[in-house]
Structures are given as structure tokens and as C-alpha cells.
Structure 1
């Protein structure tokens, strides 16, 4: 790998470190709920859920309208600046009502969506094949390291007052400086001759839907971990922050094994990751103590964080260069929509069973099993587009 590409990766991985700034509200959710006791708990959970919803909308806007005219470096940095200002705004003044908090979360989501889509698309611009899969895997590792950083800061700063957790967004500033220095401009998306939705490959549509359903289930843990710890008498903000940090740590080994996992199992690696998350769901439902809750969260996150780069590589490998950034954004939109709608979905489907946390997890386990069965059937082989890309890269390697 050239020195220039290594510099690019420093900037891309700096951006990756900041994506999990979306986890800042997770350790303090029970305290936010206590501050607004008259609000429905599902609406309080949307303080977390609204972030990925607006991430999805922002990413689609960037990829469909801006990517043909503005460099990916500019959109990455602009999104990062918006994210920082939005988070600090919650600390200073957007915290006196739940509506203000939701507005702040929405702005944070817009910033992260622009940052994530553009930095992710930069990988597809400069890396191909196995190298792209490896780079995306390490990208997930840095996302996980960022999760440890932001959750740790949130738990430490918010120990006395939950609003102080949002001071963590001051730590975004050094990463913005690194991005300014190291990020490449990226390639402008080619002008499209057809509607982007009409040009979307069938496999991208399917993986988007599957990703949505899987993440819908995964998000059960993040949406409820603070409430689980409080209701089971296992601790408060510090313990919720510690559990979320353990969850974030799972991304480190996940990113390191993605390349070898795909090499051995190809597309079947995806349902394998969902099976690991299923074990985490079951353990969360049964865990009587804090340590087991942490182990459950680690397993859930290990599956999810291993799946994300596999999903991105799958979407990129099944896309033509024209519209690739949009297809990646659509895939991430499915993931982000699953995160956003999870609290509302499980509140609705669990209502006949009392809307308890336990009933939500049982429903989630059933859905996860269905997704695994579908994945084992559908992803037995590489797609024709993936096979064509592998053949092209082997021919190019042979020429050199």
C-alpha cells in the first residue's frame, strides 16, 4: 500500500472514530426518562432512535444529490462540524424538554449520516476486492474504539447531571483537524442517466431489507440496557456506561476477523454473524447479573459489528461504479432505519403481552431466527456480480 493511501486511511479512520458519538445518550437514558416522567418510554427511547433515522435521510441526500457535485472530503468534514455543534447545543440549551432533546438528536443524526456515508464511500473509491473488505473491517474496529471513547466520556461526565454527558462532543474537534489534513477528495459520482432506484441491483434491495430487520432486533439491547440495569437493580449511569463500553469493544475483534471470515465462508458469513447475535439476545433475556448482561451485549455487538463491513462489501460488490455511493447509502439507510424504529416497533408488537422488556426480547429472538434461516438459504453462493469482480481483479493481478 502506498504512503498516500496510508495517509488517506488515517483520515478515514479518524472519521470512523466519531460515528459512535451517537451512543452518548445511551448510558443516561434512564436519567432522561426520570427527568420527563410524564412522557411515554418509547418516545424517550427515540432520543437514541431518532439519530439513526436522520442518519439515513442525510446519507441518502448526500449520495443522491450532493455526491455528483461536492467532494466526499467536504461532505465528511461538514457533517462532522454539524455533529459537533449539535451535540454541544444539547449541553448548552436544547435540554429543557423532550422535544428539544429530539431536535438535538435529529441534528446529530444528520451530521453523522453525512460523515458516515462519505467516509464509507471513500473506501470504495480507493480500494477494491479483498483489500476493500480488509479496510472496511479495520474501519469497523475504529468505529468500535470510538464507541468506547464516547460512551466512557458520557458516563464520566454525566455521573452528576445527564446534560453534562453532551460535553463529550468537545472531543470531536481534534478528529476534524485530522480529517482536514489527511482525507482525500474522493471521486465525484458520475452523472446518472436513469433513476437511482430503478438502477438499484436486486441484491442491494434484498440486503437492505434484511439489514433493516436484523438491526431492528439488535437495537433492543441499546434501547433497553439502561432500563434493564435499573429495573434489575444492577446499578445506574456508571454501570450502563460500562455495559455499553463492553458492547463497543466487540467491534475490535470483529473488524480484525472480517477478512478471514469472508474468505472462508463467503456470503454465508452474514447469517453466521446473526447467529452470534441471537446468542446475545437469549443471554440478555436470561441474565440475572451485571456481568452476564455485559457478556450478552458483547455477543450481540460482535455479531452486528462483524456483519456491517460484510454488508458494505456485499453492497459495493453488487454495484456498478455509477450509483455505488447511493447503493451504499441505501444499505446504511436500512441499518439506520432499523435502529430508529426499533423502540416504536417493539412497543407496538409487545403491547398485547404487556409491553414488558422480556416480551420484546422473546419477539426479537423469534424474528432473528427467521432472518438466520432466510440467510442460510439465500446466501449459499457468491452472486454473479461478485464472481465477475473477483475474476477481473485476478486478471489485473496476473498482468502485474
Structure 2
């Protein structure tokens, strides 16, 4: 795509762009963005790092990333004639209340997904309002709002907009807010004055995030192998089993993972949000785990239609629940797992077989043996055989 980089036909005097930028930031704050910065619309500085990451295969099966590889190379592919990238951050830190009883073994859900709101919908609405305000100030200008779905290296532009630095866990970290925030962007052809890039890292010699990862997803600082990341495994890896060797490391995480953020010293005193949209409502309890094992397609649609969990579908959610059930040693749910051996989804049947093999017991062993004679999916047959073999070693 040609880099025309022509200024939009707006009525704004260039000498007033500083005042416009300042007012835009005030407007963003009133809309619920705690951090706002402006970066120039040039090629992302982390482009070479991104290319190496792709070449090492660390994107896993997120094929939409390499498919748009060229587009990530310049924001011009997101908005033609773009001049400025306004980066916005919204705090979602709802605290660490699991919603479980003190003695109750509980599942975990990533902090950003514990409310009933889908952050995409909430932030898109806010960005649209900000874009409308800018159109009022600059008639004829062009804008495009971005919340996760466009080929834009948001963290790169956020760092260049002064919002924070790259942590060794690849998250963007801000001194005041830690890393508990969503990023959104407003691209425009209005040439706004850029903020100072955040050049300094404040991680020092700390490696807590790297050492805490249960699945060793960081081959080196600032590099994430998504194929081993719990968030990737429980969210992005859809339609197939989670690799058996990584299942124990998933622990109690049903959806996403916060481990590398939980241990970050910069998150210790991060402010909590008081916005009702991010109030936790999903109980992270064994009761919820049982309900998840029993959820059908209709119930899933009703409960999660406007929630981030919708992304993984009913089968992905139940697959994850089977693994968490085994990792928590929740033998009370063996009857549910036995029922799932006959589920319509092969990935659910396979996960249920693995879980029964880990939990053990006569009912589990007998049910696996019975299912082995009727199962027609080769992958599930292998899961059942491996589960029975594991049970044999436990006898």
C-alpha cells in the first residue's frame, strides 16, 4: 500500500494541534480511559522483534497473525493516510477476590473476564464517542477505532505514546497502574503532537514473571512462546486437544491466566477500578466447575453470548473444565466426566478421558474400559488408552 501520508482536509490550524491534543486527552479521561498518549503513525519499532517471533513459530495456531503479517508493518494498512495513533488504557483491576469459600478448591478465571461485560463492546463504544468528538472538532477528518481486532501492534504504539514499558512477560507496565489495563487505539489523519516515548524499563534484575510461569512459556525475557502459554491453550487453541504434557501446568485456570501479572511487583499497589462494568460476578468455585461440566450449547449461548468466554465456545470451555477438574483432584465430579465420555465433541470426550485417568477409581476405570470398545475417533481412542495405562500404573 502506498504511503501517501497526506494531511486530511480539515479546518484545524496546525498551531492549535497542541490544544486539540490536550482537550482530546481530557475527553478520553471523561470516557473512562485512565491513560492517554499519542504516537506518530510510523512503522512500529518492535517490527523486527515481531518478525523473529513469527519465524520461531511462537504464534502457534493463531493463523490470523501471520496472515496479516504485512499489515502489522505500518498503521497505514489500518487507516489510509493516518498521521497519529492515540493510545488509550482502561483499568480493569477488580482485585483478587476468587468468590470461593476459604476451604473450597476453586477454579480460576483471568481477571479481565470475571465480569459479565465483553471489554471489546465497552471499549469500542468509548472509542467511538471519542472519534465523534474529534470529528466535531475537525470536520472532514478520518478516524478508525481499534480494540484488539486490527493488525496493529498496540503495545508498541502504547510505549511510544508514553503509557509504559515492555515487561519481561511482554506486558505493557505503567508505574502507577501496573499492567491491569486494556488497550485501545484511535487512529486519525489529524497530525497531533506526539508524546515522549517511554524509553526506560523499570524491571531491573527482577525475573519473577519468568520463573512463575507454570508452563515455562518464556524462552527468554520479552519473548512469549504462545504455544505453551495457558491463556493461549485455554482460549486460542480451539477445536483440538490441549497437549497432554501441558495439562498439569494449567492447574486451576479455566479461562486465561494471570500468573505472570500476579507476581509482578508493579501490580502490588495497582489501583482497583470502581467501574461497575468490571465488577466480578463469575464465582471461581467448585460449584461453578460442576455447572460448567454440565453446560449444554443452549445454556452456554444464554450465559456467555456477550462475554469473552464466548470466544472459546461450549466445547472449549468444557474441555478446559475437564482438565481443571483433574488438576484439582475433584473426584466428586467423576459422574459428570463419565457422562462426557459420550459427548458429541471429540475434544470434550478426550479431555474427559484424560481427567478420569488422573482421578482414578473403579468407576473411572470401568467407564473408560467400556467406552474404549465403542469410541470411533482415533484421537479419543488414544486418550482412553493413555488414561487406562496411567490407571494401571497407579494400581
Q: Which has the higher contact order (CA 8 A, sep 6+)?
A: 1
Which interval holds the TM-score relative to the shorter structure? under 0.3
Larger radius of gyration: 2
TM normalised by structure 1 equals 0.25
TM normalised by structure 2 equals 0.25
